[in-house]
Amino acid sequence: MTYIPHTPKEIQEMLEFLGIEDVEELFKDIPEEIRKSAKENIRLTPPISEIDLIREMETIAKKNIGKDYISFLGGGAYRHYIPSVVKHIISYPGFYTSYTPYQPEISQGILQSIFEYQSLICDLTGMDVANASLYEGGSGIAEAALMSTRINSKKEVIVSEGVHPEYLEVLNTYLSAQEITIKKVPINNRGETNIEELERMISPNTSCVIIQNPNFFGVIETKLKEIEKIIHRNNALFILSIYPISLGILKPPSEYNVDITVGEGQSLGIPLGFGGPYLGILATKKEFIRQMPGRIVGETKDVEGKRGFVNTLQTREQHIRRAKATSNICTNEALSAISASIYLSLLGKNGIRKVAEICFSRAHLLIDKIEKELGLELTYKDSFFFNEFILKVPKKSLEILKRLETQKILGGIPLSTFYPERDKELLISVTEMNSIEDISYFISSLKEATQ
């Protein structure tokens, strides 16, 4: 039987040792009617061989034809190059077949890697401390908001409408459970968070203000310094959601005096994978470390004074504090965090900057060509972008995308997915995986599709 190593003789010996004849006797404590129903109702597909499984999975996989298309899809998940090294290292059994490091003496590999992940995230964001990861960007924002309410005991959260609409939904789900009010600040005609509105809405009752940069519309928020002053004047916390690759060129959150930095870490060496598993980044100032959710690894020494690493501040966590824990999070995304560590160390200072520059420059090359060669306009044409922007198209965006699909192009995300009234706009994203040839082909196909 698959993955069960016992020989019939061993099974017999074990049954004899227990003084029973059949293994079914070990299930007598389950009421008979329950056993009967399980027996009658569990009707799965019959077992198949590995050979057949491979064949079947290949057939199913090939139905994901979108993978073969030239893609300009972004919106919180980005197709970046993943160096081969990342895939090899996360396949090492010491990493992927281990559990949470409850026995640190035989888990130094995971613990040091997570310590290094925390350090690399702090290098990238400029923050003092990072946790060992959360599930992904959306629940990460929600955890940061809850953390803020624990820090200042206030029950109102302000969030910019520039935050990813799916993250806004997650925030709403998490916060409404604890009766925390959410107020949304609109964006202005530049696609940036409306500062005047923010000033009007914020009060000393505000726990935190959440901004995303670059925001969901691809726009770089240029007034973060002013926003920071407004927030801190009201004794609220500043939460910023970031796109890690953009920090290769953009000013880090620490320079805006951000209190909690969060973000989707998928761009750091983690595959698109139809939406997961990803990586939730959370980093903060040292003064708030005790209110952080999730695991934290700290340096220590062994009895002989040798350096080692352990899970620390565990008294915040569910397995010790139970109902009073800072979060229910138990499993984090350790292997994704290790992918990010490998990616960040492999690319390093110069590589991350260069990837950011390639994304930026190719996106701006595309914008330039769209404007000059197609005469189309961006929705927020006077704003600044990193690698993503919103294009106004002359027809229904879904119609244009359908036509691009016939050219094997995924031409962007229709904004109508999230804002039904905005049905003639596309969110277009460019990464280092879009070659110059792809971009030219996209331009010519877009020209045909929009005519």
Partner 1 sequence: MKDIPLLREISREGRPTINLPEPEKDYLPKKLLPEDLLRKDLPLPQVSEVEVVRHFTNLSIKNYGVDFGFYPLGSCTMKYNPKINEDIAQNPYFTDLHPYTPESLSQGALEIIYKLSTFLSCITGMDRFTFQPSAGAHGELTALLIIKKYLQDKGEDRDTVLVPDSAHGTNPASASMAGFKIIEVPSDERGLVSPKTLSKYLNEKIAVLMLTNPNTLGLFERDILEIAKIVHEEGALLYYDGANLNGIMGYARPGDMGFDAVHINLHKTFSTPHGGGGPGAGPVGVKNFLSEYLPKPTVEFDGEKYYLNYNIPKSIGRVRSFYGNFLVLLKAYAYIRLLGTEGLKRVTEMAVLNANYLKEKLKEILYLPYPSICKHEFVLSGKYQKEKGVKTLDIAKRILDFGMHSPTIYFPLIVEEALMIEPTETENKETLDQFYEIMRTIDQEIQKDIEKVKTAPHTTPVKRLDEAYAAKTLKVTWK
Please, which residue, 202 or 430, has the CB nearer to partner 1? 430
Part of the chain binding partner 1 (CB under 8 A), chosen from 24-32, 153-161, 190-198, 200-208? 24-32
Please, which residue, 178 or 444, has the CB nearer to partner 1? 178
Residue 444 and residue 127: Cα distance in Å, rounded? 44
The residue whose two tokens read 């002053």 is 229
Q: Does 33 bind partner 1 (CB under 8 A)?
A: yes
With contact defined as beta carbons under 8 Å apart, do 380 and 389 qualify?
Answer: yes
The residue whose two tokens read 């060129």 is 249
Q: From residue 63 to residue 92, what is the string marking binding to partner 1 with x (rule CB under 8 A)?
A: xxxxx-x-x-x-xxx-x-x-x-x-xxx-xx
**Contacting partner 1 within 367-396 (CB under 8 A):** 368, 384
Q: Phi/psi of residue 38, each to 5°?
A: -60, -45
Q: Does 153 bind partner 1 (CB under 8 A)?
A: no
Q: Which two tokens stand for residue 101?
A: 């490091």
**Nearest approach, Cβ of 232 to partner 1 (angstroms)?**
19
Please, which residue, 138 or 202, has the CB nearer to partner 1? 138
**Nearest approach, Cβ of 260 to partner 1 (angstroms)?**
15
Q: Which two tokens stand for residue 203?
A: 């009060």
Return contacts of 16-23, CB within 8 angstroms, 24+ apart.
none
**Nearest approach, Cβ of 200 to partner 1 (angstroms)?**
26
The residue whose two tokens read 């940036």 is 192
Q: Does 219 bind partner 1 (CB under 8 A)?
A: no
Q: Does 62 bind partner 1 (CB under 8 A)?
A: yes
Of the residues 70, 122, 245, 281, which one makes contact with partner 1 according to CB under 8 A: 122
Please, which residue, 136 or 234, has the CB nearer to partner 1? 136
Q: Does 8 bind partner 1 (CB under 8 A)?
A: no
Residue 335 and residue 269: Cα distance in Å, rounded? 11
The residue whose two tokens read 């109702």 is 41
Residue 137 and residue 135: Cα distance in Å, rounded? 7
Q: Does 226 bind partner 1 (CB under 8 A)?
A: no
Q: From residue 245 to residue 284, what is the string marking binding to partner 1 with x (rule CB under 8 A)?
A: --xxxxxx--x--------x------xxxxxxxx------
With contact defined as beta carbons under 8 Å apart, do 111 and 297 qualify?
Answer: yes
Q: Which two tokens stand for residue 47?
A: 């077992």
**Nearest approach, Cβ of 444 to partner 1 (angstroms)?**
18
**Contacting partner 1 within 178-217 (CB under 8 A):** 178-179
With contact defined as beta carbons under 8 Å apart, do 265 and 334 qualify?
Answer: no
β-strand partners of 239: 210, 260
